[in-house]
């Protein structure tokens, strides 16, 4: 595998490996897998090694990508539309929104 992997490349890789199984499982069951992985990431953030953290971040991204594939969402397009011109709240490239969110 190449040292650089774009979001689009990653989404295609996950699609190629798992799409048929993912479609059979469906969005609801796949979302539950994502939530399990988010829980594992939370644990790793508290007491995991850097290697464990990398693995859990990768798992969360993979399951999120799986849901996007089943829902027929292009993640690159979604990210570009939402964040490509800056913060969705204030529009600045460096957020200057007041408060905790966005």
| CATH number of the domain that residue 42 is part of | 1.10.287.1080
- According to the model, what pLDDT value does residue 1 have? 54
Half-sphere exposure of 89 (CA within 13 A, CB side): 9
In-domain check, residue 78: no
Query: pLDDT band at residue 3, thresholds of 50, 70 and 90?
Result: confident
Q: Is residue 80 part of a domain?
A: no
Which residues contact residue 92 at a Cβ distance below 8 angstroms, ignoring those fewer than 6 apart?
A: 86
pLDDT score of 101: 72
In a domain, 83, yes or no: no
Per-residue pLDDT tens over the stretch 54-88: 999 999 999 999 999 999 999 999 999 999 999 99
In a domain, residue 18? The reply is yes
- Please give the residue range of the domain that contains residue 44: 7-71
In a domain, 56, yes or no: yes
The tally of domains found in the chain comes to 1
């Amino acid at each position: 595998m190449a040292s650089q992997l774009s979001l689009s490349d990653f989404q295609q890789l996950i699609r190629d490996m798992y799409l048929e199984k993912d479609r059979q499982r469906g969005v609801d069951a796949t979302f539950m897998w994502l939530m399990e992985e988010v829980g594992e990431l939370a644990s790793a953030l508290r007491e995991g090694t850097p290697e464990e953290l990398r693995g859990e971040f990768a798992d969360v991204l993979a399951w999120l990508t799986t849901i996007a594939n089943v829902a027929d969402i292009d993640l690159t397009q979604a990210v570009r539309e939402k964040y490509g011109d800056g913060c969705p709240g204030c529009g600045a490239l460096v957020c200057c929104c007041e408060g905790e969110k966005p």
